[in-house]
Amino acid sequence: MSQSGVSSLPHIVVVGGGAGGLELVTRLGRTLGKRKRARITLIDGNMTHIWKPLLHEVAAGSLNATEEELNYVAQAKWNHFNFQLGSMIGVDREQRQVQLAPINDENGDALIPARQLDYDYLVVAVGSNTNDFNTTGAAEHCIFLDTRAQAERFHTRLINQYLKAQVRGEMVPDESINVAIIGAGATGVELAAELHHAALMLRSYGLDRVRAEDLNISLVEAGPRILPALPERLASKAAATLNGLGVHIRTGSPVKEVQADGLLLADGQFIPASLKVWAAGIRAPAFLAGLGLETNRINQLLVDKTLRTADERIFAFGDCAACPMDEPGTFVPPRAQSAHQQATLLSKNLSQLLEGKPLKEYRYRDHGSLISLSSFSAVGNLMGNLTGSITLEGWLARMFYISLYRMHQMALYGLPRTIMLMLSDRMGRSTEPRLKLH
């Protein structure tokens, strides 16, 4: 079945409602869509959006995803674009049609059949998945934090282990809750700190048979140190904070095999763990390699500096795209700030394209990195043209970290609604548990 619009307006289809894709369609809807210069359609396999950097908080239970999610249908109505529920599985470039997989209900029965959606210009923003590097047992025994459902699955398992221990009346040595996190980049480090915070909160809510020290958290990194994207001094500060919280940091040895009861490292060490999270590396969805466009070894679509693929009608950006930088052989890093910057540029380029004007090139601007260590601390560096690099620690770094999410909200909602959301969050703290307990 083909979904063809009756309008003669150019049709821009964006696949993927992550941070970058959602910001792009919102911008396009407010400009091209509102002024009837183009039809804008967003395609995503879910009905709601949650900012991916928050998933470690969902996993620990310190954030309720239901309260932070954004509904695509409502966002489309407010911002003059259309939304189609579906998952892209291919593209007919000759007919200019996106191919969508069928949608089944909870019983496996067909709800919506496979269909095609016509486009004049296609933007692929499907993000990335965790790369387990084909490590034996990783796919079977690890939880990944790519989606809200995965984060909530981890939280459910964590709560279940706490409830089991509580009912038994007291912890016994072989029933300590052992959590292993593979990968000490931003996600792994932030999750480790957030889990320790959750342990303290669970005890304060009455699960007092489980002491905070009975939650054994191991952070495993193949490289020589944690947080390789940060300056070594700041990474050392973060490591010292984690050590003070009782997190066991193991660096310098990759995971050889993931087993049901723990991790076997390449140096022969075994780390017991009933809960295992893989947070190391990324790769783009596998179906991108079958589109007939050039991809790299991790399935990213190769684009030029205007974010256009070899097909002049198809663009890609964010984690699913390999965009070159000025230095030969280097590519834009897969970071949230990259997707935000590219969404801004691409919204302008698509307008330029419709007006027959030349496209602008994207140049990555590194504004620094910020890492939250839950309520305990934060570290990071800010980079600017005038100020150079400024290192931040503690309360000030945490305020800047929180502001990143508020900036994302402002891009989607505008300033007045974002202020209202901030006030609502503040009032909710006094009426709701500080930790999700189910």
Helix H segments across 131-271?
138-141, 148-168, 186-204, 232-244
Q: Do domains 2-128+284-354 and 138-278 have the same CATH topology?
A: yes
Query: Each residue of 155-192: pLDDT tens digit?
Result: 999 988 888 877 765 555 456 789 999 999 999 999 99
Amino acid at 235: A
Q: What does pLDDT average to over the chain?
A: 88
pLDDT tier at 200, thresholds 50, 70, 90 = confident
CATH class of 2-128+284-354: alpha beta
Task: Please enumerate in sequence order all residues whose Cβ is within 8 A of that of 97, keeping only pairs 6 or more positions apart, or say none.
Answer: 2, 91, 116, 117, 118, 119
Q: Give the start-to-end residue ranges of the domains of the chain.
A: 2-128+284-354, 138-278, 368-428
- For domain 138-278, say whether CATH 3.60.15.10 is its number: no
Residue 371 has pLDDT above 80, yes or no: yes
- Give the span between the Cα atoms of 187 and 250, in whole angstroms: 16
Summarize pLDDT for 310-339 with one digit per residue, the tens: 999 999 999 999 999 989 999 999 988 899
**Residues 6 or more apart whose Cβ sits within 8 Å of residue 177:** 158, 161, 162, 165, 210, 214, 215, 216, 274, 275
Task: Give the integer Cα–Cα distance in Å for 15 and 98.
Answer: 9
The answer to whether the pTM exceeds 0.75 is: yes
| Contact status, residue 102 vs residue 113, Cβ threshold 8 Å | yes
pLDDT digits (tens, 9 = 90+) for 3-36: 444 468 999 999 999 999 999 999 999 999 999 9
- Is the pLDDT at 424 greater than 50? The verdict is yes
228 contacts: CB under 8 Å, gap ≥ 6: 185, 235
pLDDT in tens, 201-246: 877 767 666 677 788 999 999 999 999 988 898 899 999 999 999 9
pLDDT digits (tens, 9 = 90+) for 136-163: 999 999 999 999 999 999 999 998 888 8
What's the confidence (pLDDT) of residue 427?
A: 67
In Å, how far are 222, 247, 258, 426 from 266, measured between CA atoms?
A: 9, 21, 11, 47
**What is the end-to-end Cα distance of the chain in Å, rounded?**
42
